[in-house]
Each structure stands twice: as C-alpha cells, then as structure tokens.
Amino acid sequence: MKKLDIVYEDKDILVVNKKSGLLTVNDKKNNNNLYEEVYDYLHKKNQKVFIVHRLDKDTSGLILFAKNVKIKNYFQENWDKVIRKYKAIVEGNLNNDGIIKSYLYETKSFQVLSSNNHNRGKLAVTKYKVIKNKSNLCLIDIDIKTGRKNQIRCQLDSINHPIVGDKKYHSNLNLYHRLALHAYYLKFYHPRINQVIEIEIKCPKFMELF
C-alpha cells in the first residue's frame, strides 16, 4: 500500500496532502485514486471513509475526508464556511489584487465556461492577491468563496491569466511538468470537539523558489 501524506487525523476526519496527477476518486477509466488509498488505510483500522470534497487530478494539496456520515453531512452543508486557500503561478503579470465573479456552466464535452449571464450557470467567486511577478509570470494567493468545478482554472483563464501547465484552459507553458496550482490551507470549525482547526502546508518547491 502506498504511504499516505497524512496532515491531520482524529476520530472524525482525515486530511491528506494529495499529489498532482492523482485522481480524488475513480473516473471509471483509471482506478488509481486517492479515495482507494484512504479506504485501504482506514479499512485496516476498522474505520469508514466518506468523500467531502474533491480536487482536480492535476491540482495538489489538502483534501478532507470524513469517517462517518454525520460529519460528512455537516461539512458538505457548511462547506461555504470553510476557508480554502491556494497558490498558483499564472501566465502574464498582475499588478493589483482582484476578485472574479462570474457564472460557470459545463458544456456537453465537460468543458467549464465562464459567463456574465446569471441565467447561464452557477455563481463562482474567486479572490486573489499578488505575491510576486517574475518575467511574464505571476505567483498569486487565492481564496475561493464558492466551490464550483474547475472554478479557479476557468476564471483565471477568463481574465487571460491561465495557470501555467493548464492545457485545458489555454496555457501555452509547461514549465513545471504539472499544473501550477496547490491547495495549501484549510480553516474550519470542528463540531464534535468545538474547536476551529487551521491547517497549512508548504507549497511545492517550484512555488517556494519562485
């Protein structure tokens, strides 16, 4: 069994650092996924596992799993209250912090597109802060207020700053041989222990050295 990169664990939840290139769950084409690895780990401890949220295959970083239905339902019903932060390297320079609000919808070919028409899709809100510009690239810190499929990738592409390595959303660069997007921070209220849990991990070396 592969060794999981476990960041936090208690009797209710498990938080794992997912590597880039690994599916969160089986897509029927590829059985190699994080859920199966977590299932194997917890099954040996006679514990169950329930999916709370997902990360795209090529995005690395923090994923939270629940160990019982009650906790799973709590987090899914209150997911908009969980603070989730990412770092990304995008094409082009950004001089100011910003917020992207648009409506996302999915085509028949599973491409997520952005629209200003509220009748076209579901509202997505992404805030970003500029950390550093270098050459024709920019490292940004991202705080998402909604959790739509491909939200960060689609919305950054919609303002003509696609994430480096994101072929699906029009990146022309593959500098790091992966998608330059990492989920590094979670902050949430834990209902059973009545505490706020804050988890932060390091970013991949290419981001730390940017």
Dihedral angle computed from the Cα positions of residues 121, 125, 131 and 134, in that order, rounded to the nearest 10 degrees: 10
Q: Name the pLDDT band for 10 (thresholds 50, 70, 90).
A: very high
Is residue 105 over pLDDT 90?
Answer: yes
Specify if 1 maps to a domain.
Answer: no
* Cα 39 to the center of its chain, rounded Å: 20
Cβ atoms of 131 and 139 within 8 Å: the answer is yes
Q: Name the pLDDT band for 96 (thresholds 50, 70, 90).
A: very high
**pTM check: above 0.85:** yes
Specify if 180 maps to a domain.
Answer: yes
Instruction: Determine the pLDDT at residue 120.
Output: 84
Number of domains in the chain: 1
Is residue 130 over pLDDT 60?
Answer: yes
Mean pLDDT (the chain) is 94
> Among this protein's residues, is 58 annotated catalytic?
no
What's the full length of the chain, in residues? Answer: 210
Instruction: Determine the pLDDT at residue 32.
Output: 85
115: domain range?
6-208
**Residue 102 to residue 127: CA distance in whole angstroms:** 12
Residue with tokens 């040996």, as numbered in its chain = 44
Catalytic pick among 5, 10, 40, 56: 56
Specify if 10 maps to a domain.
Answer: yes
Specify if 26 maps to a domain.
Answer: yes
Instruction: Determine the pLDDT at residue 64.
Output: 98
What are the residues whose beta carbons fall under 8 Å from the beta carbon of 188, sequence distance 6 or more? 64, 75, 81, 82, 83, 196, 197
Rg of the chain over all Cα atoms, to the nearest angstrom: 17
Is residue 1 over pLDDT 80?
Answer: no
Cβ atoms of 72 and 50 within 8 Å: the answer is yes
- Read off the CATH number of the domain in which 65 is found: 3.30.2350.10
Tell me the pLDDT tens digit for each residue of 29-41.
Answer: 667 899 999 999 9
Q: Where does residue 1 rank: exposed (0-12), middle (13-18), buried (19+ CB within 10 A)?
A: exposed
Specify if 18 maps to a domain.
Answer: yes
